[in-house]
Amino acid sequence: MKKYIAFISATIIVLGVMLYSTKNEYIFKIFGTSSVEENSEKQEKDSKDSNKEGGVLKNISGIFNKYVKDDSEDKGESPSAEIEEENDNNSEDKYKYSQGILLVNRKNKLDKDFIPKELVVPKVKFKSSADPLVKKMEKEAAEALERMFNAAREEGITLLGVSGYRSYKIQESVYNNKVKKSGKSYADKYVAQPGTSEHQSGLSMDMVSTEHTALDTAFENTKAFKWLDANAHKYGFILRYPKGKEKVTGYNYEPWHYRYVGVNASEEIKNYGITLEEYMEN
């Protein structure tokens, strides 16, 4: 295509020059290229007696060849080939994965620009005060959450979603606010620093129920928690920060925080009574 455009352009220039100008400089001004000007100077020295129109045609021929050369060089790089991203923000080489499961904690951080590939808002009931900005989950996790909430409802348990995916910036705001309110020491026990939060993975959901709507340890005394404890693993979810495993997970017990890992992993984690960290080490 470039060859045809160059040829047509060259033809138009020849006609223009023949009709309106007899000076070689005219074509130089059109293209504004130093290589053409140098060509012209050489031609003027080597062939002073050649007529001006012939000189113009030679210059145009050189320009045409230049375009053809550039076109062939372009074709050397496949126009349909896409440049691979050097930094794949969701690459398994960049973050800690085991059997396709992503581990996020204080030692295994996510970058500021890590964003789950497919975020959707699960079709479940949320706590009325839940922030619309943090209702999303990665699609597979969201669909599993829907199945779990529906199963609980069939048994008279009404679960409520509170907080799912949080971007790095939102987590940063949550953490800083907690530090200002309760101090850094307390904040670090319950709130992940930006980049170390599972919420950024889009695979976690904080949840409560109509029985108890506060995110505190009293949730463990509800029918909803007992139902989750007995059934969450059937849908691919685990209690991420269980009691007695604080030194392993790095966080205090949180009966409201559930993480999607898939049914195979969740059943094994549940059966052995281990954490995600322990599961990924084995």
Catalytic residue IDs: 254
Spell out the long-range contacts of 231-235 with Cβ–Cβ below 8 A and sequence spacing 24 or more.
Answer: 231/148, 231/151, 231/152, 232/148, 232/258, 232/266, 233/263, 233/266, 233/267, 233/269, 233/270, 234/148, 234/151, 234/263, 234/266, 234/267, 235/144, 235/145, 235/147, 235/148, 235/151, 235/263, 235/266
First to last CA, the chain: 59
Query: Which candidate, 118, 124, 170, places its Cα nearest to that of 145?
Result: 124
In this structure, what token pair is assigned to residue 88?
A: 């794949």
**3-state SS assignment for residue 13:** helix
φ and ψ of 74, to 5 deg: -65, -40
CA torsion sign for 90, 95, 100, 101 is negative
Those residues with Cβ within 8 angstroms of residue 271's Cβ, 6 or more apart along the chain or in another chain: none
The count of other CB atoms within 10 Å of the CB of residue 106 is 13
